[in-house]
Structure 1
Amino acid sequence: MEMKGLKDKDLIPAIGSKTTVSLVLNRKRALTIDMIRNLHDLLGLPVEVLIQPYELNGSQELVK
């Protein structure tokens, strides 16, 4: 985000509310399919990057 000069608020159209953006960026909430599509459209990120498994903070499970 820093490389593109984006701030958290710039992700609201793709992810939802300011609270949801914060939860996603802090790995407390997983991306949904709609969020992934929207981020792909907004930022031009490859879907393959956005669907990679990752661990949520405070969780022992990987999000797939």
Structure 2
Amino acid sequence: MKVVIDEEKCVAAGQCVAAAADVFDQREEDGVVVLLNENPPTELADDVRNAAAVCPALAIHIKE
């Protein structure tokens, strides 16, 4: 699994961090998503998929 984010689409809602805090964070200055691990371990795959699903801006893309 590879995670790709589109910072231009991010609306800083923080749903990704709530769903997968080991993979996503937010910049302090504007709340835009920060990708902590573009290749998360298998045990986090469901959390990452959930984060992509709940992102209101559809800024998270997963390549399997």
Whether these two folds match at TM > 0.5 is no
TM range (shorter): 0.3 to 0.5
More helix by share: 1
Q: Taking CA–CA contacts closer than 8 Å with sequence separation of 6 or more, which of the two structures ends up with the larger relative contact order?
A: 2
Q: Structure 1 length normalisation: TM-score?
A: 0.37
Q: Between Structure 1 and Structure 2, whose CA radius of gyration is higher?
A: 1
Which one has a larger percent strand, Structure 1 or Structure 2? 2
